[in-house]
């Protein structure tokens, strides 16, 4: 039996909304009961999916997809373009739900709403052009024509994590729909109600609801069925899970976009504006309590400004406000699950046991809420410890000095991940030169992560263990399509006519090739 939704006076109004959203989820598996991080109250009673439920969802999505794909791209864009305004109009409802399910600070919930709205507007405006047939140069000008067509994949499987449930759902689902596909979406069970809310908003904008199927369940239970029923996979989550799902997709010879973990470095050069860098580093490290794949978990500071930077940074960290209130009074919110709290405390404890120095924080804060943890800064972190080598995914950062650019690049590139990096300098040219040497899919100059991430026209993805493929950019839409080339010849060009001399035919083709080259046509 699922416990009832909280009814105490302290429960926010959104608790009842979340419970109602959970009732809209279909599934015949065991009930799941995610807990609100601020209070540990039940968020909703969610029926999980069996493999049979997933297969049925894929069938329903495929049945709905044909008529949707038959619509003109501009008509699909009009439908999903309306989501932009709806998200902004209903931002307070969205922020309440995001805080209730994730425990993040309200300012960080607002950033998520704005990001989701921005993605909708960006792709709705550009989809008709990006999906339109393209004329390409033919083998012989005037005598051949070539067109590239874009066809939807069919059914796209989207798997999203709990840390940015609105932003990441919309960022992957909406482009897939704009491209003419249907979607079967497995959000993390912890934040399934946000996905259900986003689907309801899209339905209000005019999207046929059958096009966006939502299922929840443990990855090992539903993952194989999800990949088996799909024509493309978009996954955001851990590197370990990405390996498993990537192999499943490869076995079926379907495409995949895997956005995985990171151990991102923030590099402060000797000529950096120290005050600005310290303020930016706080945002880069502790947005959403560090539960962000693009967050900085390593700060590398030139020895010449190390002490000055550290003083400013620690002063700012010490003043961060932690709160479980549904208002803008908090600088940082809660961790989302007991598992994340355990991971954070384990990483810190091991680092301290092996010689790390605690510069700030280091303790859980149950006096504020059951899953709160102080923002924590460490120094002298030893290689081989989890904090040094693994993604912590919490409010923990290590700081260490370097002495020249070569050492900074070596330290920043040390490790298998390559998702995001940040470089701080007063010299744009110097920062850009160092950025180009970093093994990261995105590098932000004088910002932590937001500049690159919200530049929707630019691709966003990782290297190495941080994943394959990209979201955003033209590829973030076109990845959900199959290309087809249609070529036509106006006359017989390549074979000699019956009875003609083959030698003379090859001479004519050679002369034609030389002429094309001279005219810049070949």
The three-class DSSP label of residue 300 is strand
The three-class DSSP label of residue 312 is helix
Which residue has 């069938």 as its token pair? 59
On the 0-12 / 13-18 / 19+ scale of CB atoms within 10 A, 429 is exposed
Residues 480, 413: Cα–Cα separation, whole Å: 31
Can you read off the two tokens belonging to residue 241? 């899970």
**Ramachandran quadrant class, 211 (left: phi over 0; alpha: psi -120 to 50; beta: rest):** alpha
Residues 378, 387: Cα–Cα separation, whole Å: 9
Closest CA to 174 of 116, 132, 257: 116
- The three state secondary structure string of 237-260 is CCHHHHHHHHHHHHHHCCEEEEEC
Residues 105, 235: Cα–Cα separation, whole Å: 25
Closest CA to 450 of 141, 36, 149, 114: 114
Choice among 259, 297, 374, 391 that is catalytic: 259
The answer to whether residue 407 is catalytic is no
Closest CA to 260 of 449, 420, 115, 419: 419
User: Count of CB atoms within 10 A of residue 492's CB?
Assistant: 9
What are residue 378's DSSP bridge partners?
358, 398
Question: In residues, how long is the chain?
Answer: 522
User: Count of CB atoms within 10 A of residue 148's CB?
Assistant: 14
| Phi, psi dihedral angles at 229 (to 5 degrees) | -95, 0
Can you read off the two tokens belonging to residue 19? 């419970």
Residues 6+ apart with CB under 8 A from 236: 159, 160, 161, 168, 172, 259, 260, 293
- The three state secondary structure string of 164-228 is CHHHHHHHHHHHHHHCCCEEEEEECHHHHHHHHHHHHHHHHHCCCHHHEEECCCCHHHHHHHHHH
Can you read off the two tokens belonging to residue 127? 């989809």
Strands 420-424 vs 442-445: parallel, antiparallel or unpaired: parallel
| Phi, psi dihedral angles at 344 (to 5 degrees) | -60, -50
Residues 168, 182: Cα–Cα separation, whole Å: 17
Closest CA to 391 of 466, 310, 462, 336: 466
Residues 140, 345: Cα–Cα separation, whole Å: 66
- Contact between 246 and 469 under an 8 Å Cβ cutoff? The reply is no
Catalytic residues: 259
């Amino acid at each position: 039996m699922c416990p009832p939704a909280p009814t105490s006076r302290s429960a926010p109004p959104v608790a009842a909304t979340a419970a109602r959203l959970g009732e809209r989820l279909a599934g015949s598996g065991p009930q799941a009961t995610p807990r609100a991080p601020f209070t540990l109250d039940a968020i909703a009673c969610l029926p999980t999916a069996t493999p049979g439920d997933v297969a049925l969802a894929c069938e329903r999505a495929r049945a709905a997809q044909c008529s949707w794909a038959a619509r003109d791209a501009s008509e699909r864009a009009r439908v999903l373009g309306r989501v932009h305004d709806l998200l902004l109009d209903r931002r307070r409802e969205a922020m309440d739900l995001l805080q209730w399910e994730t425990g993040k600070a309200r300012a960080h919930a607002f950033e998520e709403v704005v990001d989701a709205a921005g993605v909708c507007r960006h792709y709705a405006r550009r989809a008709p052009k990006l999906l339109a047939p393209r004329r390409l140069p033919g083998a012989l000008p005037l005598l051949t024509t070539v067109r590239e067509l874009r066809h939807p994949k069919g059914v796209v499987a989207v798997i999203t994590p709990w840390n940015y449930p609105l932003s990441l759902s919309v960022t992957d689902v909406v482009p897939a729909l704009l491209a003419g596909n249907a979607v079967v979406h497995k959000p993390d069970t912890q934040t399934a109600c946000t996905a259900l809310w986003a689907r309801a908003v899209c339905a209000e904008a005019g999207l046929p609801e059958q096009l966006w199927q939502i299922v929840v369940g443990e990855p090992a239970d539903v993952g194989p069925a999800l990949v088996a029923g799909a024509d493309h996979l978009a996954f955001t989550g851990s590197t370990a899970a990405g390996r498993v799902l990537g192999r499943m997709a490869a076995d079926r010879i379907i495409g995949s976009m895997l956005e995985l973990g990171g151990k991102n470095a923030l590099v402060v050069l000797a000529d950096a504006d120290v005050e600005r860098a310290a303020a930016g580093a706080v945002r880069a490290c502790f947005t959403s309590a560090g539960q962000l794949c693009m967050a900085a978990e390593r700060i590398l500071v030139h020895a010449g400004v190390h002490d000055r930077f550290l003083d400013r940074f620690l002063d700012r960290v010490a003043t961060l406000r932690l709160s479980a209130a549904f208002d803008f009074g908090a600088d940082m919110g809660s961790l989302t699950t007991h598992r994340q709290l355990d991971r954070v405390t384990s990483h810190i404890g091991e680092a301290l046991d092996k010689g790390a120095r605690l510069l700030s924080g280091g303790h859980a804060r149950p006096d504020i809420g059951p899953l709160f943890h102080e923002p924590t800064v460490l120094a002298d972190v030893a290689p081989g410890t989890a904090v040094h080598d693994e993604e912590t995914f919490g409010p923990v950062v290590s700081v260490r000095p370097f002495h020249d650019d070569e050492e900074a690049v070596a330290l920043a590139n040390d490790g298998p991940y390559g998702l995001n990096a940040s470089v701080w300098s007063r010299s744009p040219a110097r920062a850009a030169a160092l950025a180009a040497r970093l093994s990261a899919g995105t590098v932000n100059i004088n910002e932590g992560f937001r500049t690159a991430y919200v530049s929707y026209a630019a691709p966003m993805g990782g290297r190495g263990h941080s994943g394959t493929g990209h979201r955003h950019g033209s590829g973030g839409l076109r990845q959900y399509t199959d290309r087809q080339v249609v070529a036509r010849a106006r006359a017989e060009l390549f074979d000699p006519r019956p009875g003609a001399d083959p030698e003379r035919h090859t001479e004519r083709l050679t002369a034609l090739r030389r002429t094309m080259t001279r005219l810049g046509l070949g």
